Amino acid sequence: MQLVPKAFIPSQKQALTTLGLLGILLLLVYGRSLGFGFVDWDDKLLIVENPIVHSFTPATIKEAFTSYDPELYIPLTLVGYQLDHLFVGLHPFLYHLENLAFHLLNSALVAWFVLLLTGRRWVAAVTALLFAVHPLHTEAVVWASSRKDVQAACFFLLSLIAYQLFRAGGEKRLYRYSVLALLLALLSKVIAITLPLILLLLDWREGRKIDRANLREKLPFFVLSILFGVIALGGKYGSDELVAEKLLIGSKAVVFYLGKLLLPAGLSVLYPYTEPPSLTNIGLLVPFFLVIAITILAWKSSRKTREILFAWLFFLITVAPTFSNFARGKDLLKDIYFASDRYTYLPSIAAFFLAALLLHRLLHKRAQIVQGLIAVLVVLFSFQAYAQSLTWENSETLFTNVLEHYPNSHLAHNNLGSLRYREGKEEEALQHYLQSLAIRPNSQASYNLGQLYSAAGQTLEAMRAYRDALKNRPDDVPTLVNLGVLEMRAGDLPRAIGHLKQARDLDPVSTFVHYNLGAAYEVQGNIEEAVGSYRRVLELDPEDAEVSEILQRLELKNGA
């Protein structure tokens, strides 16, 4: 079979045909998910309740480029959400459609990337098909908040392709396109930071010399990656784990991902890990040494072919930035989640590429068997991806699926409890909150329990729950305020004022905090301090009529 030239650029007809066929397949798999709503898993934070994306103005664009989400720097993704909101408001259809469109484009780009790598259409087609329908990618495709992952991957792949075409033909404009695409990828999500290393890996695979000239050529890529790496550090908090812990958890994640790529069952939005991440943990040591063993074997195989080591290093390099993300939450004791399906979006390309090469080698000997196997895999993965997409229909299906596979997820219990509470099913909500706390004490479940008890008029139980929340998250302003208000009502004014002052110091621009502090001072009879707090409310919100009336009354009382 004739190989495709290394500088191959598909014709318009070829591109549209590829996109059309892949589009039909992906609509069959993910078409139903276009009608899903937003879920209570970052969608509120990033889209539904995010004022930055609710208008498209110079001021909000500037804010998108000068803020975090709250941890990640994703300005281009936020601007995309702004445009979505400009056209359809908060109707989720367009948000889901754009994710699917990015995945469609990425599947076609994977085919082009592999075609430039190997020159073999068959290998490119198989790699792209497996990438398009694998269930492990469902999270990235169906979850509206995962736009950053599919968008960054799109520009990442465009940068790789432009670089390959530049190396094949020497056109400087393609080099510039590659640098520009990396910039757009980094503006979408900093996960693209590894691209310079992948470019060096491509050069090594092609047998190019890694010398000063080669490194000088990569300088703009490294400068961008380092710059965005520094920017990314500004949004991170609580990431103080030891390097050894990151390597251990990361190794477990790598082995887990390899297993799920082969057998994509039991997929979940959460993969909680409740054991201590230490060097004596056998459950972490085994994956660590397994990764080392695979690396040694891949290195030895490079004497005969560079493809195995290339694919393995591509996988490791692109998944490595996620190793720092396993400890999450704002409690003193962090939650540990050792994996996320969307983290395999780029790394999986290497696995599918290697699988396609292996099948291609077998094709000449067992053509019918190989083609039949590929057909079975595509159909099977498609049905599994469709089934997995249904777990994202709403928040209840999402977190119910988590508990089916990981019943030790306190976060899933807490989130289901909140859903039940909003539905008016207080007893079911109570049970979920208590189950969450039984798995592990955590501030969110304690806070929600406090709200439930407070609404039911159980003041003592509510205060106890809020105090438990503060044990795990002592600087949480809503908890401090709610506890202070209950203590004020119970007559414990010194403690109430103490908690409200702590909340004021943490959030000095909150009108809610100043208002309640003023009320506590007023009840205490400290009119001077009460007036000071109420005046601060009006400084922050001059239109607050209620506080204006209170101030007039207090000032008249003081004057009398």
Please name each of the domains of the chain with its CATH number: 12-396 (no CATH), 409-470 (1.25.40.10), 475-560 (1.25.40.10)
> Residue 102: is its pLDDT beyond 80?
yes
Q: Which amino acid would we find at residue 269?
A: V
CB 43 within 8 Å of CB 144 = yes
pLDDT at position 560 is: 45
pLDDT at position 558 is: 67
Q: Please give the radius of gyration of the chain, using alpha carbons only, rounded to the nearest integer.
A: 27
pLDDT at position 559 is: 60
pLDDT at position 2 is: 65
Judge residue 283's burial from the number of C-beta atoms within 10 Å of its C-beta, 0-12 exposed, 13-18 middle, 19 or more buried.
exposed
pTM of the predicted structure, to 2 decimals: 0.91
> Residue 417: is its pLDDT beyond 90?
yes
3-state secondary structure of 532: helix
Find all residues with CB under 8 Å of 127, minimum gap 6, and list them.
Answer: 110, 111, 114, 349, 352, 353, 355, 356
Q: What is the pLDDT of residues 122-133, one digit of tens each?
A: 999 999 999 999
- Tokens, residue 177: 């396109």
Chain centroid, CA 556 distance in Å: 54
Mean pLDDT of the 341-354 span: 97
188-208 in b/e burial notation, b at 16+ Cβ within 10 A? Answer: bbbbbbbbbbbbbbbbbbeee
141/156 Cα distance (integer angstroms)? 17
369/157 Cα distance (integer angstroms)? 32
Find all residues with CB under 8 Å of 365, minimum gap 6, and list them.
Answer: none
Backbone angles phi, psi at 424, to 5 degrees: 85, 10
- Count, in order, helices (H) and strands (E) of the chain: 27, 2
3-state secondary structure of 430: helix
3-state secondary structure of 328: strand
Q: Which amino acid would we find at residue 220?
A: P
Least confident of 57-66, 82-91, 271-280, 385-394: 271-280
Mean pLDDT of the 305-320 span: 97
In angstroms, the first-to-last Cα distance of the chain is 100
The overall average pLDDT reported for the chain is 92
Strand partners for 272: 337
Q: What is the pLDDT of residues 219-258, one digit of tens each?
A: 999 999 999 999 988 866 544 556 778 888 999 999 999 9
3-state secondary structure of 361: helix
Mean pLDDT of the 380-385 span: 97
Residue 508's pLDDT band, with cuts at 50, 70 and 90, is very high
Peptide bond into 70 cis (omega under 30): yes
- Half-sphere exposure for 344 (CA within 13 Å, toward CB): 27
Q: What is the pLDDT of residues 162-217, one digit of tens each?
A: 999 999 988 899 999 999 999 999 999 999 999 999 999 999 999 999 999 999 99
Q: Which amino acid would we find at residue 313?
A: L
The residue that leads in pLDDT, 118 or 547, is 118
What DSSP string runs through 433-469? HHHHHHH---HHHHHHHHHHHHHTT-HHHHHHHHHHH
377/283 Cα distance (integer angstroms)? 30
Q: What is the pLDDT of residues 510-556, one digit of tens each?
A: 999 999 998 999 888 888 888 899 889 888 888 888 888 888 888 77
pLDDT at position 352 is: 98
What DSSP string runs through 36-49? ----TTTHIIIIIT
